[in-house]
Homo-oligomer: A and B are copies of this chain.
Amino acid sequence: MTVKKVSSELSVNERAQQLLKVLIERYIQDGEPVGSRTLSRDSGLDLSPATIRNVMADLEDLGLVSSPHTSAGRIPTVSGYRMFVDTLVTLKPLEAGKIKQLETGLYSSADPKILVESASKLLSSLTHMAGLVMIPRRKQLTFRQIEFLPLSSKRLLTILVTTEGEVHNRVIDVRKAYTASQLVQFANMLNQHYSGLSMEAMHKRLVREMEQARKDMNQIMAQALEMAEQVIDPEIRGDDYVMAGQTNLMDFNDFSQMNKLRELFDSFTEKNEILHLLDGSMLAEGVQLFIGEESGYKALDQCSLVTAPYQVDSKVAGVLGVVGPTRMAYDRVIPIVDITARLLSTAMQTRKAK
């Protein structure tokens, strides 16, 4: 009896899941609420609309679907999508042509800046949504060298280079004028002393040793350290990302209300909400999804974000992904994001493996 009940419940669930799957696929395709008739016709399950209506009522009780109004079909809820992407979806392998496109797009340059930009453009063009690639985290970057160039008497151009090949520059004002050779001396000292440290570690040591130098009345040293501090302090905070194809999102009538769309775009330029999400998905193993309100940010509550981390020299270096309407073709998008991350990883390798 018990056994039978369980198995019967299970079969109900399987059938319901199958129906949910078809419903979502259908809804993703057409963007319109799916009714019982349609489902009866296209589910391959040979059930009458009436039966399907019963199942739908169950799914609605479970919070997996909802109907916009009494006499409309059903549309998936966020939980519905979640179940779909977690257990139901059958991913579509990426066509060879698109893989080729990705490869040629990514293997044509060695400059990380250009690579990141290409990746984000490719993501956007392959998915017809907005692509984004996070730039390697500052904190994890390691200091390589610094340089000071005088612009005017009390104004210096500072250039900071990381081992990874990123260059950051900043203009700073200093209290007194230094000669060119003094500046070179400062730079040499800092370079010898700190080269190879992570930015974060360097920051900590800088602060500590600045204290020390002040106590020792070592003016020169203190000055040099202060200058360095001025440069790396802003660099240490804040990751950044590059985005492409934002305007693609304007085509989805899911965002027909302008203010919603505006909110979204603003959060793209504001960046910190998105960065926080990307930051979180750095730790995840493979592709990760934030569906609708799952992200926790109001601006994104009509969107889904699909991300995957990428590596440089087999260490996680950043995250890339796409943003689109909740109703997106997950079966196509997930593989695209996945593969792009892999390809970017190999393209970013500093020493050639082959």
Known: A111-B170, A144-B149. 16 other contacts (CB 8 A): A110-B155, A110-B171, A110-B172, A110-B173, A111-B172, A149-B165, A152-B352, A155-B350, A157-B167, A165-B171, A167-B169, A246-B265, A247-B262, A247-B265, A250-B261, A250-B265
CB nearest neighbor in B for A147: B147
Also in contact, A165 and B157, with CB within 8 A (given A144-B149, A152-B351, A266-B247): yes
B250 near A258 with CB under 8 A, answer yes
A258-272 Cβ-contact flags toward B at 8 Å (1 or 0): 110110011001000
Interface presence of A33 (CB below 8 A): no
| Inter-chain contacts of A110 with B (CB < 8 A) | 155, 171-173
A161 near B152 with CB under 8 A, answer no
CA distance A151 to B144 in the complex (A): 11
20 A-B pairs within 8 Å (CB atoms) are namely A110-B172, A111-B170, A111-B171, A111-B172, A113-B171, A144-B149, A147-B147, A149-B165, A151-B165, A152-B352, A155-B350, A157-B161, A157-B165, A157-B167, A159-B159, A159-B167, A165-B171, A246-B265, A250-B258, A251-B258
Interface presence of A112 (CB below 8 A): yes
How many whole Å from A232's CB to the nearest CB in chain B? 15
CB nearest neighbor in B for A350: B152
A266-299 Cβ-contact flags toward B at 8 Å (1 or 0): 1001000000000000000000000000000000
What are the 9 A-B residue pairs with the smallest beta carbon separation, nearest first?
A167-B169, A111-B171, A250-B262, A157-B165, A247-B265, A151-B165, A247-B262, A152-B351, A110-B171
CB nearest neighbor in B for A267: B247
CA distance A137 to B327 in the complex (A): 44
CA distance A172 to B113 in the complex (A): 12
CA distance A258 to B260 in the complex (A): 13
How many whole Å from A171's CB to the nearest CB in chain B? 4
CB nearest neighbor in B for A173: B110
CB nearest neighbor in B for A245: B269
| Inter-chain contacts of A145 with B (CB < 8 A) | 149
How many whole Å from A195's CB to the nearest CB in chain B? 12
B161 near A161 with CB under 8 A, answer no
B247 near A251 with CB under 8 A, answer no
| Inter-chain contacts of A269 with B (CB < 8 A) | 246-247
A138-171 Cβ-contact flags toward B at 8 Å (1 or 0): 0000001101010110010101010001010111
CA distance A157 to B144 in the complex (A): 12
B157 near A159 with CB under 8 A, answer no
| Inter-chain contacts of A161 with B (CB < 8 A) | 149, 157, 159
A167 near B165 with CB under 8 A, answer no
| Inter-chain contacts of A261 with B (CB < 8 A) | 250
| Inter-chain contacts of A172 with B (CB < 8 A) | 110-111
CB nearest neighbor in B for A115: B171
How many whole Å from A166's CB to the nearest CB in chain B? 8
| Inter-chain contacts of A265 with B (CB < 8 A) | 246-247, 250
| Inter-chain contacts of A262 with B (CB < 8 A) | 247, 250-251
How many whole Å from A14's CB to the nearest CB in chain B? 42
| Inter-chain contacts of A155 with B (CB < 8 A) | 110, 350
CB nearest neighbor in B for A244: B269
